[in-house]
Amino acid sequence: WHVCGPRGVGFVSGPMPTKVPSVLFVLSPNGQQKCAGEYTLVENQTANGYPLWKQSGGTSWIYAGLNGMWIVGGPDVKEKGFQCSFGSIFCKVLHHGTPPHKVDGTWWRLSGE
């Protein structure tokens, strides 16, 4: 699967850059298609100190898990106030403040649709 930012493909400990993309696109053709689509930055809200993106017309979120990884999770993570590390798609590389579309690592997905 690929996560496409405004200028590229894809998604260290430090502060998040002041400029983060307002929109991210997630493609997952081989599974977890429910997570695919456009994600819009949620203004004035963070998850574990990092920006948060909501799936347009869907129920998924791109958030920073407590484990330091970027994760695509469903409504259950919102119910937990993002105080978790659950999701259907995730990057195994710790982000250390790098936004999702810039993390240099492999993204993984759970089995299923």
pLDDT in tens, the chain (113 residues): 333 444 333 333 345 555 789 999 998 888 888 999 999 999 999 999 999 999 999 999 999 999 999 999 999 999 999 999 999 999 999 998 899 999 988 889 888 65
* pLDDT score of 9: 34
* Residue 13 parent element (H or E): none
Those residues whose C-beta lies under 8 Å from the C-beta of residue 7, and which sit 6 or more positions away, are none
* pLDDT score of 31: 84
* pLDDT score of 16: 55
The dihedral over CA atoms of 90, 11, 75, 81, expressed in degrees to the nearest 10, equals 90
Model-wide pTM > 0.75:
yes
Q: The tokens of 12 are what?
A: 């260290």
